[in-house]
A and B are shown apart, each in its own frame.
Chain A
């Protein structure tokens, strides 16, 4: 491992958002997302089926 890698990791960890302690920039982004989401009206079944579910099922 080089010296550079731990430093890069540290920087990435600092940049990673912490939902418990957001910084101002993160707060602004979250607010922007919330505003945008307010009038998105979408309901989807969270029961994803993949194509395999149709395949040769009757055969088994």
Chain B
């Protein structure tokens, strides 16, 4: 019996995920000997981020021809601006990025290079830019470090199925055909299990299923994972689904997958296996009854053997481990995440968890862990740290937790820090007691602030989840939340904010009249829709929520060092901020040594030697500004998608006044990997930065009334490193009015 377990793109590239190692461990300890784990996600990233693949993309894009065509236009419409944004930077920096992308991967994988702040930022920017090149090849598809979105929506089964064969816009059609399928052919499995945790994996997962089906029709293909808790039943009603797969596992996968393995091995059908949906010989789709949840204390330690652990783009391995399933609180009316693994809340023993950590640490030679749990339960918060210390484990770790005011006292915080806990992400959501009560969060905002102070004092980095636009929340309440969070910027390091989405599995949806929701707008073309747009009778409008969210993100960039400029990379690249925290020992040390550099605009500016430059007929800065500002103009019923819908695109193309020409210069700093847009005046100033003259002398040619602006521009050139290396320009936003 040969089994292949596949984690399809797209997930993060900084660390392995837990789904395959949990399943593999369970199958292996239950007698399924040949279990191959394939992380097609990291393997695809690793391949895409090669010089040869980048050059192939550049050849297919022909950016220069595209820019020339657009530069010849009288004005740029919306779609043209999007193309211009992408093609101008690819034309300028594409070859350089292609030539050095493998060096960038090496920087991310090598400790002494990774912890060199400037090298790290260069590598992160280069990888980011390389993914933009690959995305341009498949435009309007977008592949980033944390998402994969196609024009074809994952909210529609027909569009998903169409996307699986869309060679033009789906990069994984070619990738799987050339790499994953040959590997599977060599293995020749009897069963392939594909894990689908995130929406971004839906299309790649079924793309692979289609290719396996075409190659080996008698290979049993099963899909499982968190996403199916949301869309599995709906997907099972579509006949085309059963052209691609044989069975679907709902909720936790260990036991059903083992039973499917045995059924396939014995040549019988999968009828009667709990938590499985399948189509029987008559064509009828059968949803088997829900199985009893597993006792997770009986599960083996996850087994990462066979995963390409050296390929993740981090210098040290961070391993995920789940010591609980479900959420011990489980009352927040907006949240459904804890339901995807099965009913109820289950915990692994504390001693067992320490053993798991010790075993994994020794076996894989790492000391870094991410507890992939919904929230750290009170008993574990109190007892786990001491057990880790008693066991003499030298590890560091992070996790999510509830703001439990009575649990996180000074002693617990100190113990947590002493046991290696470096970062905790708390669900703060709102500073309004009324809104929190409506959410059934069960927390007091004032006590939460005191708790956060204690956690911070113990030396643990704090991340807050914040939600904007919960039904009935007023604009004033949300503004106060945002202002409160900004006031905590000395003790809070990261904020993950989002606009409230109405999830059809949530209590809010089920009891929507209690939340004053007057109308829900389902999309009739989206049979897999999970998140709905809505109108409420009270509180802020959806548009207001979106606008405030955008204002908040701008404020975060101004006030939180982690979000300033490309420091954002630390936040976006899942494990990297955590690793930096560990490396520097504390938030304070990281802040001082890495995130906040001294800007020194005095002295004699000298133009950076290593830059690439291109003159543009349109002002690229205005293109960027226009495209970004259109965000709230577009309806976003698609969850986790920043792609402009075709209908919005057509409307914007028709309605927007075309952008008139105005010259600008695009400058790529080869050393830092940063791209800048300079106005002609700024470009002239940069040219005059010869190193022999003071800023005043450089700007002497400028008429006196514009001199101050010119001097400020020289200072900015120096801060960006184009004339002299420096970091972190501060910006101001409207949110400061709230603060004042």
Contacts and interface: CB of A to CB of B under 8 A. Distances in A.
Given A56-B498, A60-B574, A42 B72 contact: no
B624 interface: yes
Contacts of B463: 58
A16 to B, nearest CB: 6
Nearest to A47: B675
Interface string B690-702: 0000000000001
A11 to B, nearest CB: 13
A51 B552 CA distance: 10
A58 B574 contact: yes
A40 B12 CA distance: 41
**A interface residue count range (under 10 / 10 to 19 / 20 to 34 / 35 or more):** 20 to 34
Nearest to A59: B496
Contact of B72 (A18, A37, A38, A52): A18
A23 B705 CA distance: 34
Interface string A19-49: 1000000000010011001111111111111
B722 interface: yes
B674 A55 contact: no
A36 B125 CA distance: 33
Given A42-B621, A60-B146, A54 B680 contact: no
Interface string B491-508: 000111111000000000
A57 B720 CA distance: 26
A51 B549 contact: yes
Contacts of A44: 621, 624-625, 676-677
Contacts of A57: 146, 496, 571-572, 574
A49 B144 CA distance: 12
B617 interface: yes
B679 A42 contact: yes
Given A41-B712, A47-B675, A16 B663 contact: no
A37 B662 CA distance: 8
Interface stretch (B99-107, B519-527, B681-689): B681-689
B566 interface: yes
Contacts of B147: 52
B238 to A, nearest CB: 26
A43 B689 CA distance: 15
Nearest to B17: A60
Interface residues of B, number: 69
Contacts of A41: 679, 681-682, 685, 706, 709-710, 712-713
B356 interface: no
B73 interface: yes
B642 A60 contact: no
B85 interface: yes
Contact of A37 (B568, B624, B676, B681): B681
Contact of A48 (B72, B550, B563, B624): B624
Nearest to B620: A46
A43 B716 contact: yes
B253 to A, nearest CB: 19
Contacts of B628: 48-50
A14 to B, nearest CB: 12
Nearest to B132: A47
B574 A37 contact: no
A53 interface: yes
Contacts of B720: 43, 45
A56 B662 CA distance: 37
A43 B74 CA distance: 24
Contacts of B465: 58
B254 interface: no
Contacts of A50: 628, 631, 642
15 contacts: A19-B71, A37-B663, A40-B681, A43-B679, A44-B624, A44-B676, A45-B674, A51-B642, A52-B147, A52-B640, A53-B572, A55-B497, A56-B640, A58-B425, A58-B463
Given A42-B621, A51-B553, 13 more contacts: A16-B73, A34-B680, A39-B702, A41-B681, A41-B710, A42-B679, A43-B676, A43-B713, A45-B676, A46-B676, A52-B642, A58-B425, A60-B11
